[in-house]
Amino acid sequence: MRSRLALAAALRTVITSIVMKLIDFFAQRLPEASSGTGNRRSNANLAFDSARRAMVERQIRARDVRSPRVLEAMASVPRHLFVSPEYAAEAYSDSPLPIGFGQTISQPYMVAAMADALSLEGHEKVLEIGAGSGYQAAVLSLLAREVIAVESQPALAVAARELLLRLGYQNIRIESGDGTEGWTLDSPNAAPYDAILVTAGAPSIPPPLVAQLSEGGRLVIPVGPSAQQDLVRLVKHDGRTTRESLFACRFVPLVGRYGWPAGAQMQGPNRG
């Protein structure tokens, strides 16, 4: 019994240390306040702004994502603050990037295309499964009324919550748990959701997510085997769903009760 208690205490210490390091790391990525220069910004920030505008034009608009609201959101969220310093120069490249714990921040086009597929108008309550660094949630928060994002890795959840708070995103909640079960833990009124977005590949569509979808709600999720999935959109009408395959994709595994078992490996790099 004593050995178990000692082990539990040691694990808590390690987890706390990791969380604090992640918080410190993400906090360091915030723009430094200018000293006595008013609206003047550093050359680095200007370069990031330019790279972000180019990303929207070349990677997103050029691939037929035409929603003005989605394009504006992608142009507004500073992706370089959601990656580690060693990847900051690649933040606006056309690829996913590592964020730790075997997870990644998704390719910008994928973030935009998935947000576009939800057809958000601004009044919706959105559930995101796979918060990751918080980047996708930040984009969704500019398109919807409220975003609840669930992350299976507690350390990532804490770091994303702290970063989003520091960046001033007020309509996002980051929770830690098994996203394949959706989210109803804090209140029976949490569900239903007007839209649900899953940013990891599932072997099949988790039934709890369909159950927590509102009438007329949209669920966008990558579904299929490890080598390749289809990005699927479900729309719920009269208690039934219609299913549409949007395009092929590859994501990291959605792990949980209604997903892949822990330790599952996929070839796909995309995630939240």
Residue range 144-173, pLDDT digits in tens = 999 999 999 999 999 999 999 999 999 999
Residues known to be catalytic: 106
| Number of folded domains that form the chain | 1
Q: Is residue 169 part of a domain?
A: yes
User: Which tokens go with 79?
Assistant: 């992706």
Residue 77: CATH number of its domain: 3.40.50.150
Quick one: residue 112, left, alpha or beta (phi over 0 = left, psi -120 to 50 = alpha)?
Answer: alpha
CA–CA distance, 234 with 241 (Å, rounded to integer): 6
pTM of the model: 0.83
Average pLDDT over residues 25-53: 66
Q: Is residue 88 part of a domain?
A: yes
Q: Is residue 3 part of a domain?
A: no
Give the pLDDT band of residue 269 (cuts 50, 70, 90): low
User: Which tokens go with 203?
Assistant: 């072997």
| In contact, 199 and 132? CB cutoff 8 Å | yes
Domain that holds residue 230: 67-249
Average pLDDT over residues 174-182: 97
Average pLDDT over residues 118-130: 98
User: Which tokens go with 213?
Assistant: 């979808």
Q: Is residue 81 part of a domain?
A: yes
Percent of the chain scoring above 70 in pLDDT: 80
